Chains A and B, each alone.
Chain A
Amino acid sequence: MNISVITFPGSNCDRDVITAAADLTGKTPKVVWHKDHDIGSPDLVIIPGGFSFGDYLRCGAIAAKSPAMDEVLEHAYRGGMVIGICNGFQVLVETGLLPGALIRNKGLKFVCRDTRLKVHSNSKAIMSGFQPDESLIIPVAHNEGQFYADDSTLKKIQDNGQIAFTYAPIADEDDYNPNGAALDIAGITSENGRVLGMMPHPERRMSETVGGADGRRLLSAIFEASQS
């Protein structure tokens, strides 16, 4: 399968994503610099995490207007699949491909820890490789990860099955939601179900050596879905 990874000045999870994708698919993704217009003919575009453009103005705002993102938008409008991880999620909400916004963590602190992700809905195309109620341990690392949307938007994405992942307790802790996200949302899909944004980093959980391999399962499911 063909994967394109978009990189910006300040992206810092691009190498991890490229390694993870090459490992799982046997093929090295096409790496696209933000100034390039040619994103190839990907089955899936990955927008990796990091601090694109130093998080200036708003996280993801400047990256969202880059030439490569114009092509990603075209790809998405044609029904192509896209996943944005962490800063990539922030970029996708800034483009308007995904609803809502990601604002400063409720606790005002950068949060870097494991979270339990629950598959909330697998009804959308990009989520079709997951079992209902499947749960995975995946780390988060962010300062602006609190998903926000007004009440009518929240109701709409709930009714449409656009909530992909929610945070859940790992054991029985009360503070399992790391950032105060509305409805414990960790990831959402677009209305057409082919664009996914998520705050947690599956590419950081690819082997038992780094504490677990749930990221393999998560990315495999998405890769599988984007080939069908």
Chain B
Amino acid sequence: MKVMVSISLKPGVLDPQARAIENSLASLGYQDVKGVSTGKQIILDLDEDDEARARQKSAKMCETLLVNTVIENYEITIMDEDD
């Protein structure tokens, strides 16, 4: 089963990369961009058929290594079979 972990910065944590992208978009004429934020995705291919257990195992991995909960939030999504 494939699980997608989406990691984003917590609100209030400065995201200088996003500011740079926002400035670049503005200079290209995209004046209607109200905000930019960045994040990352980690896709785990788990040897697990049970959705609840897959979520539980992934959450444990997030808390242990994948995410720094001081500055980051995460969301776990079970991916479709053919993804």
Judge whether B35 is part of the interface by a CB distance below 8 angstroms: no
- B16 interface neighbour in A57, A58, A104, A149, Cβ under 8 Å: A104
- A103 interface neighbour in B20, B64, B71, Cβ under 8 Å: B71
Q: Is the CB of A149 within 8 A of B65?
A: no
Q: Is the CB of A103 within 8 A of B14?
A: yes
The chain B residue sitting closest to A99, CB to CB, is: B70
Judge whether B29 is part of the interface by a CB distance below 8 angstroms: no
Main secondary structure of the interface of A (DSSP, over half): loop
Q: Flag A97-110 by CB within 8 Å of B: 1 or 0 each.
A: 00111011111100
For the complex formed, measure the closest distance between the CB of B68 and the CB atoms of chain A, giving whole angstroms. 6
Tally B residues with Cβ within 8 Å of A. Answer: 12
The chain A residue sitting closest to B19, CB to CB, is: A108
Tally A residues with Cβ within 8 Å of B. Answer: 21
Judge whether A146 is part of the interface by a CB distance below 8 angstroms: yes
Q: Is the CB of A94 within 8 A of B68?
A: yes
For the complex formed, measure the closest distance between the CB of A95 and the CB atoms of chain B, giving whole angstroms. 11
- Would you list which residues of chain A between 105 and 140 have a CB under 8 Å from chain B? 105-108
- Would you list which residues of chain A between 14 and 64 have a CB under 8 Å from chain B? 57-58, 61-62
Judge whether A80 is part of the interface by a CB distance below 8 angstroms: no
- B65 interface neighbour in A57, A93, A101, A150, Cβ under 8 Å: A57
Q: Is the CB of A107 within 8 A of B64?
A: no
Q: Is the CB of B65 within 8 A of A65?
A: yes
Q: Is the CB of B70 within 8 A of A149?
A: yes
Judge whether A180 is part of the interface by a CB distance below 8 angstroms: yes
Q: Is the CB of B17 within 8 A of A104?
A: yes
Q: Which residues from B are CB-within-8-Å of A149?
A: 70
Q: Which residues from A are CB-within-8-Å of B70?
A: 93, 99-101, 148-149
Q: Is the CB of A105 within 8 A of B16?
A: yes
For the complex formed, measure the closest distance between the CB of A61 and the CB atoms of chain B, giving whole angstroms. 7
- B14 interface neighbour in A57, A61, A93, A146, Cβ under 8 Å: A146
A and B contact pairs by CB, cutoff 8 A, 12 listed: A57-B65, A57-B66, A61-B68, A62-B65, A65-B64, A65-B65, A103-B13, A104-B17, A106-B14, A108-B16, A108-B20, A148-B14
Apart from A57-B66, A93-B70, A94-B68, 19 more pairs, CB < 8 Å: A61-B65, A61-B68, A65-B65, A99-B70, A100-B70, A101-B68, A101-B71, A103-B14, A103-B71, A104-B16, A104-B17, A106-B14, A106-B16, A108-B16, A146-B14, A148-B70, A148-B71, A149-B70, A180-B14
Across the A-B interface, give the 6 residue pairs with the lowest CB-CB distance, nearest first.
Answer: A101-B70, A101-B71, A108-B16, A104-B16, A58-B68, A106-B16
Residues of chain B at the chain A interface (Cβ within 8 Å): 12-14, 16-17, 20, 64-66, 68, 70-71
Residues of chain A at the chain B interface (Cβ within 8 Å): 57-58, 61-62, 65, 93-94, 99-101, 103-108, 146, 148-150, 180
